[in-house]
Amino acid sequence: MSIIFMVIAIGNMCGMYDKPLQIVSDRESKGLTFSHSKNLDVVDSYGTSRHIAKYAFPLGSTFTLSVRFDLLGMSSSDKRPRLFQSSDSATSESVSKRKRVPWWQNEVIYQIYPRSFKDSKGLGSGDLKGIISKLDYLKELGIGAIWLSPIYTSPMADFGYDISNFMDIDPVFGNMTDFEELLGSCHEKGLKVIMDFVPNHSSNEHEWFMKSVQMEDPYTDYYIWSDPLGFTEKGDPIPPNNWVSVFRGSAWTWVEERQQFYFHQFLAKQPDLNFRNSHVREEMKNILKFWLDKGVDGFRIDALKHLFEVEDIYQDEPIASDSNLNYPFDYGSLCHTLTVNQPETFDVLKEWRELASQYTDKLLMVEIYDGEIEQVMNYYGNERNPLADFPFNFLMIDKLKNRTELTGKSLKSTVDIWMDNMPEGKWPNWVLGNHDSGRMGSRFGEDLIDALNMLCLLLPGTPITYYGEEIGMINTWISWKDTQDPQGCRYGPKLYEKYSRDPARTPMQWDSTSCAGFTTHTETWLPINENYKTLNVKAQIEAASSHLKIYRSLTLLRKEEAFRSGKLSYPVITNDVFSFARSVNDCEMYLVVINTSENNIMVNMHKNANFRLPDTGVVILRSITDSSENTVPHSEVSLSNLEMVGGEGLVLSLDIQS
């Protein structure tokens, strides 16, 4: 008796690849021999793109089937690098022996800012049905999980990070039925769904807050309330301390009804919840449980380090040594010793970890912006006391602010900071952009876009890609009149450009039709970047080479064992060059070389290399800015004379067996 095992591989969608997929298998896994054809029948049952292969296996047998994608559409030519050889290769063996790892160690996470991804209703702002309509795109891109920035009921003072009902969907985005459809469709397609969890504060329009203002129990102490220190001569109440909000200005707002101040680390419309109150802790656990029971695959925990403040609030925070006295209410004017990273935060995180552990394979990733790496690492916990699966690695945003700060050496030391400080046995991650930072192409230069995606997807760890980075979207200039971000607005017309987060939140550029295919409306909630006519998904699918195609190749490439579990080494680091190698079994190696400078350079990978490299390598991928005949993919190149254009990244395959 036999069953049909069907492999459905979607790798050639929308013309991204122009050669059939190749499927190879472990031949004699668990003593079972099965026949297979190397040249599978490829049935194109999906317009241009779906490939289906059928195998017959005895019922009840266990086996390992390794499905591999021929990234470059290479046929069996002499140039084929080792890694594309089939069945008996070391790669296949190690695949079958590989220890089981949680899904998030294999997958690429893609952050969706729902308001800007895709509008299904023609209202000018994105929604859940819009996301559903683009799931195939994400799947084809090789994404394994989506993280949704908040979609809960909210007055939108901070665009969803001010929540008035943690267990419902804001009508702007749709409703719970839409959410369930989204979750179901994602799971059907093998995509995980990660929710944004915002525990530090609610909206001031949350029923808890309104009842707390009224001192209605049990809500009376759901928030951080304080009596005034006294009153000024004019009769104005004086806040209990000098604490300031992340968004600038005093962190205390006076409420006439209660004759008390309440505390808010962000906007006044985002009052901080009181985690010393056991009801609040229970409420938050119930919220997590609510979404876990729905079947979500994990959480991104927002602003976690702000969860607690010292209990005795009648203390000032010290003035920062580099404080700008003209702006005493700027967040940077104080050293935040009393309002962040308090020890109790870790107890609460532990409770959440324990709750998540009652389910299978749930991811907890936490947002911690902190200059002190030890503080950030504390959120991993340790083997005995695991906390987050990882805190976000913001070093490439925080430490490297612009092109001048990005050199081969500074990249290396930035990567080292994470790798050297990460607790034993923990897993790294790489973040190059998000809804709070500028787009990576604007921060570092558009010539570096492919190279940065190579870095993010090929270093060991989980890559987290912000929507649009796969096509190289850049910041959009937004006038003061169009500015929406409360952080920008609070700085006024003169300073808003420095602080506004709007430039990186503009609508996704799908095609060259009006409003970039984002909406059928004539207006969008934030302006669309003028470059959308040429910089868009459709154009990049159709182009012979594009950021999108490089990105897609990277998501495939990282499935190779060398990238999943291979060793990491750095053969050459100079001011202009950052290079790293990933290898398994001392025979198969990939080399990634990045020219961090803006100039064309010749790189000699043998000079100053800290281990012996072969004479040549085969080009697997190169930045789209490189049009040289010599580096066309599949070409063999000399490692002593690697020609690289400014900002270029190259991925080479090396045969190190000889």
Interface residues toward ligand GLC, by CB under 6 A: 158, 161, 198, 266, 302-303, 367, 435-436
Q: How far apart are CA 253 and CA 237, in angstroms?
A: 10
229: left (phi over 0), alpha (psi -120 to 50) or beta: alpha
**Residue nearest ligand GLC, CB atom distance:** 161
SS3 176: helix
Residue 283 to residue 348: CA distance in whole angstroms: 12
CA angle 29, 33, 35 (to 5 degrees): 120
The string of DSSP codes covering 624-658 is: TT---GGGSTT-EEETTSEEE-TT-EEEEEEE---
From 70, 272, 330, 367, active-site residue: 367
Give counts: helices (H), strands (E), the chain. 17, 27
Q: Give the separation between CA 414 and CA 406, rounded to whole angstroms.
A: 10
Q: Which residues pair with 653 in a beta bridge?
A: 590, 618
> Is 204 exposed, middle or buried, given 0-12, 13-18 or 19+ CB atoms closer than 10 A?
buried
Burial class (CB in 10 A: 0-12, 13-18, 19+), 235: exposed
367 in catalytic set: yes
Q: Provide DSSP, 324-347.
A: -TT-TTSGGGB--SSSSS-HHHHH
Q: Give SS3 for 410.
A: helix
Give least dist CB 414 to ligand GLC, A. Answer: 21
- Pairing mode, strands 225-226 and 260-263: antiparallel
Helix (H) or strand (E) holding 57, with range, is strand 50-58
CB of 34 to ligand GLC, least distance (A): 50
Q: How far apart are CA 494 and CA 218, in angstroms?
A: 44
Q: Which two tokens stand for residue 124?
A: 């000018």
Q: Which is nearer to ligand GLC, 158 or 469 (by Cβ)?
A: 158
Cβ 72 vs Cβ 620: under 8 Å: yes
**Element (DSSP H or E) covering residue 15:** none
Distance CA 429, CA 387 (A): 15
| Smallest gap from residue 512 Cβ to ligand GLC (A) | 30
Beta carbon nearer to ligand GLC, 367 or 469: 367
Query: Could you tell me which of 46, 91, 48 has the C-alpha nearest to residue 67?
Result: 91
Q: How far is the CB of 298 from ligand GLC (least distance, A)?
A: 16
H/E stretch holding 253: strand 252-255
Beta-strand relationship, 230-231 and 67-68: unpaired
Cα 643 from Cα 645, distance rounded (Å): 7
Helix (H) or strand (E) holding 532: none
Nearest distance, CB of residue 367 and ligand GLC, angstroms: 6
Catalytic residue selected from 107, 272, 302, 389: 302
Q: Scan for tokens 């962040």, then name that residue.
A: 340
CB of 150 to ligand GLC, least distance (A): 8
Q: What element of type H or E holds 415?
A: helix 408-421
Q: Which CB, 161 or 532, lies closer to ligand GLC?
A: 161
| C-alpha to C-alpha distance for 246 and 281, rounded to whole angstroms | 23
| Alpha carbon separation from 307 to 64, 251, 299, 349, 467 (Å, rounded) | 46, 14, 16, 10, 28
Residues labelled as active-site residues = 302, 367
